[in-house]
A and B are shown apart, each in its own frame.
Chain A
Amino acid sequence: MVTLAGVTKQYNGHPALVDISLTVADGEFLSLLGPSGCGKTTLLRLIGGFERCTKGSVLIDGRDTDGVPPERRAVNTVFQNYALFPHMTVFDNVAFGLRMANRPRDEIAAAVNGALDLVQLHGMAARRPAELSGGQQQRVAIARAIVNKPRVLLLDEPLSALDHRLRKQMQKELKQLQRTLGITFILVTHDQDEAFAMSDRVVVMQQGRIEQIGSPREIYEEPVNLYVARFVGDINVLAGVIREKIGPNLYTALVEGVTVQLRSDRPLSLAQPVHILLRPEDFRLAVEDAATPARELPGTIRHAGLKGTVRRIFYHGATYDVEVSLENGTRIQVTEFFDEDSDTLSCTPGDRVTLGWHEGWEVVLPHEE
Chain B
Amino acid sequence: MKNNTLFRRLLIGATWAWMALLALVPYLMLVGASFFERGTDTLVRPGLTLSNYLHLLSPTVFTMAADSVALAAVAALLCLLVGYPFAAILAHAPARIQPLLLLLVMIPFWTNSLIRTYALVMLLKADGVVNSLLLHAGLIAEPLRLMYTPVAVFIGLVYTLLPFMILPLYAALKTVDPQLLEAGRDLGAGRVRNFLHITVPLTMPGIIAGTMLVFLPALGMFYIADILGGARTMLVGNYIRDQFLVFRDIPTGSAASVTMTVAMGLLLVLHHLARRRSGKEMLP
Chain A residues within an 8 Å CB radius of B282: 89, 126, 128
**Contact code string B263-284 (vs A, CB < 8 Å = 1, else 0):** 0000000000000000000111
Given contacts A86-B202, A128-B282, contact A79 B183 (CB under 8 A): yes
The answer on a CB contact under 8 Å between A100 and B188 is yes
Q: Interface residue count for A (Cβ, 8 Å)?
A: 28
Is the C-beta of A171 less than 8 angstroms from some C-beta in chain B? no
Stretch in B117-125, B135-143, B148-156, B174-182 touching the partner: B174-182
Least Cβ–Cβ distance between B27 and chain A, in angstroms = 38
Instruction: Determine whether the beta carbon of B182 is less than 8 Å from that of A70.
Output: yes
Residues of chain B within 8 A (CB-CB) of A48 are 186
Taking a contact as CB atoms under 8 Å apart, the answer to whether B177 and A69 are in contact is: no
Cα distance, A49 to B197, chains bound together (Å): 21
Which residues of the other chain, A, contact B179 by a CB distance below 8 angstroms?
79, 81, 83
Tell me if B182 and A148 are in contact (CB < 8 A): no
Between A and B, how many residue pairs show CB distances below 8 Å? Answer: 63
Can you name the residue of chain B whose Cβ is closest to the Cβ of A69?
B185
Do the beta carbons of B182 and A100 come within 8 Å of each other?
Answer: no
CB distance B283 to A83 under 8 Å? no
Given A126-B284, A128-B282: A100 in contact with B183 (beta carbons within 8 A)? no
The closest CB in chain A to the CB of B179 belongs to: A83
* Chain A 137-155 interface residues, beta-carbon cutoff 8 Å to B: 144-145, 148
Nearest chain-B residue to A100 (Cβ)?
A: B188
Output the least CB separation between B103 and chain A (Å): 28
Contact of A71 among B186, B198, B202 (CB under 8 A): B186
Chain B residue at smallest Cβ distance from A95? B187
Knowing A83-B177, A85-B198, A86-B202, the reply to whether A96 touches B184 (Cβ < 8 A) is: yes
Whether A76 contacts B201 by the Cβ 8 Å rule is: no
User: Which of A49, A87, A89, A148 contacts B187 (CB under 8 A)?
Assistant: A148
Within the complex, the shortest CB–CB distance from A52 to chain B, in Å, comes to 14
**Contact A85/B183 with A126-B282, A128-B282, A148-B188 known, Cβ cut-off 8 Å:** yes
Q: Which residue of B lies closest to A141 (CB)?
A: B183
Which residue in chain B gives the minimum CB-CB distance to A70? B185
Decide if A100 touches B202 in the complex (CB within 8 Å).
no
With the chains together, A76 CA to B185 CA distance in Å? 10
Cβ-defined contact, A79 with B187, below 8 A: no
Instruction: Give per-residue flags for A79-113: 1 if the beta carbon is below 8 A from chain B beta carbons, else 0.
Output: 10101111101000000110011000000000000
A88 to B77: give the CA distance in the assembly, Å: 26
Q: Return B198 CB to nearest CB of chain A, in Å.
A: 6
Q: Which residues of A contact B189 (CB under 8 A)?
A: 71, 96, 100
Determine if B193 and A100 form an interchain contact, defined as CB atoms under 8 angstroms apart: yes
Interface size of B by Cβ–Cβ distance < 8 Å?
A: 20
Inter-chain contact A71/B188, CB cutoff 8 Å: yes
Query: Roughly how many angstroms separate A127 CA and B283 CA in the complex, as a whole number?
Result: 6
A49 to B188, alpha carbons, bound, how many Å?
12
A85 CB to closest chain B CB (Å) equals 6
Report the minimum CB–CB distance from A70 to chain B (whole Å).
4
Query: In the complex the two chains form, is A70's CB within 8 Å of B201's CB?
Result: no
In the bound complex, residues from chain A placing their C-beta under 8 Å from that of B180 are 83, 85-86
Q: Are B182 and A76 within 8 A (Cβ)?
A: no
Q: Mark B195-230, 1 if CB is under 8 A from A, else 0.
A: 001100110000000000000000000000000000
Q: Is B13 interfacial (CB-CB < 8 Å)? A: no
Q: Are B183 and A101 in contact (CB under 8 A)?
A: no
For A76, give its contact among B177, B186, B190, B283 (CB under 8 Å): B186
17 new A-B contacts, CB < 8 A, other than A69-B185, A77-B183, A83-B177, are A48-B186, A49-B185, A70-B185, A70-B186, A79-B182, A79-B183, A83-B180, A84-B183, A85-B180, A85-B183, A97-B187, A97-B188, A100-B187, A100-B188, A100-B189, A126-B283, A128-B283
A contact residues vs B (CB 8 Å cutoff): 48-50, 69-72, 75-77, 79, 81, 83-87, 89, 96-97, 100-101, 126-128, 144-145, 148
A-B contact pairs, 5 of them (CB 8 A): A50-B182, A79-B183, A86-B180, A97-B187, A126-B282
Which are the 10 A-B pairs with shortest beta-carbon distances? Answer: A97-B187, A100-B188, A83-B183, A70-B185, A83-B179, A87-B201, A126-B284, A77-B186, A71-B188, A100-B189
